[in-house]
């Protein structure tokens, strides 16, 4: 199998990533939503699970005691450069944090590859070692992944109804399985706003 090197488009997107972040930070994609009421979920987060792209199952009960950052991802997006930032975050805070990527083709078909190709692309080009789910649907509707149904349904998570608005929307869950924050795609994983919650 040929290594999944970057296409010309992907190289351009990677080069333009700093500009994308600079000019989209003030838009709706840069919003942060907090669980200011400290609302607790009616359905426990740690009862959820996902199938990883290597065929293994990740039972979220294994994540008790750690913070979890759930991110919907794509390989052909202006925000794809966040893969390297997510990896740095995982390496820096690995003792208390687990990043989980959920590749999805829901926004402008920016993730057409299969699971094996996505994993290879992420590892080769961004050094990704955190778990990646099987490619799935993250937006609302029939077929939405149960994890994203939980993240965007206040009847389950206790307060938040914000679905992913684009690739690289980020949801932070604390050690007790409480959803504490939504960070829009234009919020860098290495931003002060995110890192403040991990210290």
Of 14, 156, 78, the C-alpha closest to 171 is 156
pLDDT reading at 25 higher than 60: yes
- Model confidence at 2: pLDDT above 90: no
Q: In this predicted model, what pLDDT tens digit does every residue of 119-178 receive, in sequence order? A: 999 999 999 999 999 999 999 999 999 999 999 999 999 999 999 999 999 999 999 999
Under 8 Å between Cβ of 33 and 133: no
In the annotation, is 122 catalytic? no
Return all residues near 126 (Cβ < 8 A) that are at least 6 apart.
Answer: 83, 84, 87
Q: How many CB atoms lie within 10 A of CB 63?
A: 19
What's the pLDDT score for residue 116?
Answer: 95
Predicted confidence (pLDDT) per residue in 54-85, tens digit: 999 999 999 999 999 999 999 999 999 999 99
Question: In the structure, what pLDDT confidence band is assigned to residue 1 with cuts at 50, 70 and 90?
Answer: very low
The verdict on residue 107 lying in a domain is yes
What pTM was computed for the model? 0.95
Domain CATH for 149? 3.40.30.10
Q: Answer yes or no: is 94 within a domain.
A: yes
Which pair of structure tokens corresponds to residue 40? Answer: 């607790």
Residue 112 pLDDT class (50, 70, 90 cuts): very high
- Please say whether the dihedral angle defined by the alpha carbons of residues 91, 100, 131 and 1, taken in this order, is positive or negative: negative
DSSP β-ladder status, 67-73 and 179-183: unpaired
Domain count, the chain: 1
Element (H, E) at 32: strand 32-34
Q: Is residue 2 part of a domain?
A: no
- Which pLDDT belongs to residue 155? 98
How far apart (Å, rounded) are the C-alpha atoms in residues 187 and 196? 13
pLDDT of residue 93: 98
Residues 77, 97, 104, 132: which is the catalytic one? 77
pLDDT at 54: 94
Average pLDDT, the chain: 95
Residue 3 lies in a domain: no
What domain range includes position 16? Answer: 8-196
Q: 28 or 173: whose pLDDT is higher?
A: 173
- In a domain, residue 15? The reply is yes
Question: Has residue 3 got a pLDDT over 80?
Answer: no
């Amino acid at each position: 199998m040929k290594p999944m090197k970057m296409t010309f488009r992907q190289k351009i997107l990677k080069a333009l990533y700093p500009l994308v972040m600079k000019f989209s930070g003030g838009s709706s994609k840069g919003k942060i939503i907090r669980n200011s009421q400290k609302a607790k979920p009616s359905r426990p987060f740690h009862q959820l699970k996902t199938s990883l792209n290597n065929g293994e199952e990740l039972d979220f009960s294994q994540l008790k005691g750690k913070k979890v950052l759930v991110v919907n991802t794509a390989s052909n997006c202006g925000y794809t450069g966040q893969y390297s930032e997510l990896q740095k975050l995982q390496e820096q805070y690995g003792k208390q944090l687990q990043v989980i990527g959920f590749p999805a083709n829901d926004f402008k078909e920016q993730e057409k590859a299969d699971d094996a190709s996505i994993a290879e692309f992420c590892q080769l080009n961004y050094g990704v070692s955190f778990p990646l789910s099987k490619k799935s649907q993250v937006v609302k509707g029939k077929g939405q992944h149960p994890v994203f149904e939980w993240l965007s349904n206040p009847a389950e998570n206790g307060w938040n109804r914000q679905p992913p608005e684009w690739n690289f929307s980020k949801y932070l869950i604390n050690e007790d399985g409480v959803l504490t924050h939504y960070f829009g795609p234009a919020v860098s994983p290495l931003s002060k706003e995110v890192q403040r919650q991990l210290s």
